[in-house]
Amino acid sequence: MKLQRQVGEIHIALMSDDDLLLMNQKYLDHDDFTDVITFDYSSETTINCDIAISTDRVTENAIQEGVSLENELGRVMIHGLLHCVGYMDKSPEDKTAMREKENEMLKSFHVEQKG
């Protein structure tokens, strides 16, 4: 497996901007819209997580980036999983590394990539 982990339980919830904003405020004390939030319960060997995705953000991002909705949805799902295996996205360097891994994984699913 490309992430060097076994897959345990992965739950993905698709919701509106407003619903994801409420989760962001309640659980992360952030007061802004986002496309994906990952709640990671993984062990060293197994990925277990809940991933919450804003379909409003995914749609808007797809339009802005000029990619299909499927591409952007795949990207944010992969993004959420990458958080479970140690990828971060706070610094510019971390964001670049995460984007490269997202592209690699999207390619393995034969999904178009963005820069």
Rounded to the nearest integer, the mean pLDDT of the chain is 91
Whole-number percent of the chain with pLDDT over 90: 85
Whether 14 shows a pLDDT value over 50: the answer reads yes
What's the pTM value of the predicted model, to 2 decimals? 0.88
* β 6-15/36-40 pair status: unpaired
In this predicted model, what pLDDT tens digit does every residue of 84-106 receive, in sequence order?
Answer: 999 999 999 999 999 999 999 99
**Six token digits for residue 83:** 């958080």
Sole residue written with tokens 């982990």: 5
Asked if residues 81 and 3 have their Cβ atoms less than 8 Å apart, the reply is yes
